[in-house]
Structure 1
């Protein structure tokens, strides 16, 4: 009876809490709809939750935040358009999916650009020349978005459907899924791969049907979207540290009074710092889980061989893609 009573009390408390949340949400002066593309566990969803907590607490309930994960509001290209119209307010996602709107973001898909996850915010965080540079690009590109923060959300690693990867030589001839980023296409072409542009939401089917034979992603993205089912060979190449952006609709931003703009801005910075912490945690914990629970075949190629392949072309590739200024800022 005690257990039943405790369960009933817990349920009652949950119902009261939910009712309070709904009242608080309806009483808010503003509601922010936040988009992420991914399923949990993933740093983007952790960041969205942290953003929600910070905004609602620091605004004393004047702003309610509703998080829509797993691409409920659409794929990134469509969401970027909705941000321009102000029908979606905030997005947290990888910069690579925003390259069609902000081509300069391509620089962050260059392999082996950063030394470590821990050092990324020193380069792209608030107050850095890199952040200021991209904030200015947002202001002038006409997309109707404002950059709140840049962050890092884990290493990206290679995975394949059939052939395990132990060295760069194993990549030749494989159809490689890439996002709509010229940097990605040119990089993997240098390894003798055949780039195929596939949206993230279509990646599982592409790997399953053979449209693509190889892919790369963060470990949370690989795990959360169950890509291990169609790409069970995971090579820990750690070739890219994934940079993410938190962006807000300019229309939404302009509606907020200055004090609430500061709340939202500060919350994005806090959330991105938390995202780095969670990313480091996932990178160290998910590999063991993937092996034990899902039978993933993990290889650990010599990263030096991959670095040797791409290092000589970094400066030239940045120049070819019109990214010399961005490359210089990042490598400063």
Structure 2
């Protein structure tokens, strides 16, 4: 971890200590997204609900836009108690329990309703078992989830209608095995870039394209360097909110219940916003100058689904039973 990241974490830690000096408990929440994005809205809504449901006895300070470090640094910060809450991909949680990465597999869920049910411990035996392992092996737990969006592909200066069009192209991959495998399955060259550095990498031509939910594409101004938006619908992107177990345990039972309720309500509130935004943002991005390519424009969605699914399932055979369990959920 570099000096600037250590300084940010140290400052945040001091804030936390200051909060515990009085009756009011102050907790820290670090995440990668801009405040105006779906991820930012979720974090801020959660913080708002925690304050409301605890009558101000618990305050969550939110640090957006990777202020507390990269995905790996933030996750380790939560794991070791320097940060109390965080949200990121299930693949990031896979740093502690690798099988969590299976919940990020592309073309895994039938629809949004299925995705939410399959990743919620109360309704999914798979998610429940994984969460118990996270508690015992890493002293953390998944507290809630939210729909970040449906992930789509963008490219800088070339249209894409099938995986063949991506041969030799450098597409940004989140620096974890599932995303690298997914981009390989698209027939592109996976190029790991952290989210905080993504806009610069696109603008300078280090990469030829990327994939993200539409909210991230808009709020990070990716339309400035990306000409094409390809509606591959390759992932219904559910993001987990995770918490340090010791941070949770030092709260009263009533405060813990309030925080769990806040996480659940924030996820429900953002679900409706995220679903509605996905449709609206297609139009917004087109108005920003992006050319939208859908099945009506010749996109071979089945070719993407088949090629990507076959590749990642062959690459991660150890997850066959998890995939089966998720797909059996009705």
Q: Which residue of 2 aligns with 1:94?
A: 89
Q: Which residue of 2 aligns with 1:298?
A: 292
Instruction: Flag structure 2 segments of 5+ consecutive residues without an equivalent.
Output: 1-18
Please give the TM-score of this superposition, normalised by the length of structure 2: 0.85
C-alpha separation in 1, matches of 2:186 and 2:110: 22
C-alpha separation in 1, matches of 2:52 and 2:326: 34
Alignment of 1:210-229 (within 5 A): 210-229=205-224
Tell me whether 1:278 sits opposite 2:276 in the alignment: no
Q: Which residue of 1 aligns with 2:132?
A: 136
User: Greater CA radius of gyration, 1 or 2?
Assistant: 1
Q: CA deviation digits over 1:287-327, x for unaligned, max 9?
A: 111111x21121112322212323444543431xx222322
Tell me whether 1:208 sits opposite 2:206 in the alignment: no
Alignment of 1:53-68 (within 5 A): 53-68=48-63
Q: Which residue of 1 aligns with 2:264?
A: 269
C-alpha separation in 2, matches of 1:68 and 1:136: 27
1:316 aligned to 311, 314, 317, which one? Answer: 314
Tell me whether 1:184 sits opposite 2:182 in the alignment: no
Q: Which residue of 1 aligns with 2:73?
A: 78
Q: C-alpha displacement at 1:112, in angstroms?
A: 1.0
8 Å CA contact 1:125, 1:151 repeated in 2? no
* Stretch deviating more after TM superposition (258-267 or 123-132): 123-132
Q: C-alpha displacement at 1:279, in angstroms?
A: 1.3
- RMSD value, Cα: 2.2
SS in 2 for 1:195: strand
8 Å CA contact 2:89, 2:104 repeated in 1? no
Alignment of 1:43-62 (within 5 A): 43-62=38-57
Instruction: Flag structure 1 segments of 5+ consecutive residues without an equivalent.
Output: 1-23
1:155 aligned to 125, 150, 153, which one? Answer: 150
Tell me whether 1:170 sits opposite 2:168 in the alignment: no
Give the 3 Å change call, closer, same or farther, for CA 307–258 of structure 1 in structure 2. Answer: same
Aligned length: 305
SS in 1 for 2:179: helix
Q: Which residue of 2 aligns with 1:328?
A: 324
Please give the TM-score of this superposition, normalised by the length of structure 1: 0.85
Give the 3 Å change call, closer, same or farther, for CA 185–55 of structure 1 in structure 2. Answer: same
